[in-house]
Structures are given as C-alpha cells and as structure tokens.
Amino acid sequence: MQHFNIAIDGPAGAGKSTIAKAIASRLGFIYVDTGAMYRAMALYFLREGIQASDEARIIAACEKARVTIRYQDGIQKVILNDEDVSGLIRTEEVGDMASITSGYVPVREKLVELQKQLARDADVIMDGRDIASCVLPDAQVKIYLTASVQVRAKRRYDELRARGEGWDLAKIKKDIQERDYRDMHREHSPLIQAEGAVLVDTSDMDIEQVISRIVTIAKERGLVPKAEEEGPDWK
C-alpha cells in the first residue's frame, strides 16, 4: 500500500517542527524530525572532540555513531548508540555542528536511507532541508515553509527567554543568517524550494492558519481523512 507523505523543508526557525507535529497529531501521521538525526550525529562528533572541519575523522566516526528513532506516546525520541539524546541535542552548539557536518556525504547517506525507510512504512510528515528534493521526491505534498529573518530571530529569542536563557536578539539573527547561508550553499543537497513545492511564508500567519493551509493542500492532493482522526478542520 502506498503511504501518504508530506515533505516540509525550510530554513532554521521557520516553525517546521511545531507545524509538522501539530499536523501529524491531527491527521494521525507519524512526525519525522530529520534535523534531530543530524543533531544526534553532531553530538557524537562533539563528544569525540572532533573538529567540524576534520572531514576524515568525521567520516570515520560515522561508522560508530548509530542513530535510530523510537516513538514514545507518539513523540519521536532520538537514540544515539542506545542512549536517548532527545533533550541533549537542542543546544545552539549542537545545531551549529549539525549545520556544518551535515554537509559531508557519508553523514547524509546514512540518515537519508533511514528516513526513506520510515516513509515507506507509514504515513509520515517529515521536515528538514532536503526532504522534497532528495529524501521523498514523490511525496504527495511538498511545502517550503519560511518566514523573514527578523520574524524567525524573534521567535527563537522568545523561545529561549521562555526557557530562562538570556540571548541577544542581534546575535540570534546573525546566527540564523549564517546557518541559512551554509544550509543553502553547501555542495550536497542544499536547502532549496524543490520543484512542485508550495511556498508558505509564515511571517504574518499564526500557527492555526499555517496548519489549515497545509491540511487543505493535502486534501486537494487526495488525502482522505481517517474517520477516527477527524478534527475541527474536517468539518
């Protein structure tokens, strides 16, 4: 049976995971956060004390970093060599390391295979940078989710403040711009708006508006909602 796949790509801070998680729970899909997999690999490299620029050591270390995912009460847990690292990978340091090391082909090959497998086995909504262009080119729905740098930086700033972490908005904005540049200009699988992907700019949209826009597109592309998962959107 062919599963229904929704691919969401976009730059850091566009709200991909918030939106994808909400849509997954509304549609009864599995949410796959591919950034978390690159982050888990990055955490392994950091723990091994490997420099991001040391391609030979990164490639050698790929063999030893076993990344898998598990679902607990519908929530994705990222497992690195049998350890649940889901909480440890959410730092700026790990995110920056992931942005750099995801440029190496062996890192990507390993994770792309796992991601394709997950989409073969279930209805998934998967977010990342190369989902529509590389991982799921046949996805029924492809979305390029973005927002202005200013809006993305402010959202990140609010999120960090809510966690009690003090950050400088200008520094966050600069980090986001650097990450965007790296993700969009790398040689292998750069972030692009893939052919057939619908651009959704969330700068002036609230979460509910974004969710319903994507759900509407999915219905137009043939998604038939399962009765038991019907939510307010289907009425």
Residues that bind ligand DC (CB under 6 A): 12, 34-35, 38-39, 95, 98-99, 102, 128-131, 179, 183
Cβ distance to ligand DC smaller for residue 39 or 173: 39
- Tokens linked to 44: 């392994």
Closer CB to ligand DC, residue 185 or residue 226?
A: 185
Query: Closest approach of Cβ 180 to ligand DC, in Å?
Result: 9
Nearest distance, CB of residue 129 and ligand DC, angstroms? 4
**What's the CA gap between 148 and 95, in Å, rounded?**
20
Rounded to the nearest 5 percent, the helix, strand and coil shares of the chain are: 50, 15, 35
Tell me how far apart the alpha carbons of residues 118 and 110 are, in angstroms, rounded to a whole number. Answer: 13
β strands within the chain, DSSP E: 5-9, 30-33, 67-72, 75-80, 83-84, 124-128, 141-146, 198-201
Helix (H, G, I), strand (E, B) or coil at 153: helix
Least Cβ distance, residue 204 to ligand DC (angstroms): 22
> Least distance from C-beta 210 to ligand DC, angstroms?
17
Toward ligand DC, which CB reaches closer, 113 or 220?
113
CB closer to ligand DC out of 114 and 169? 114
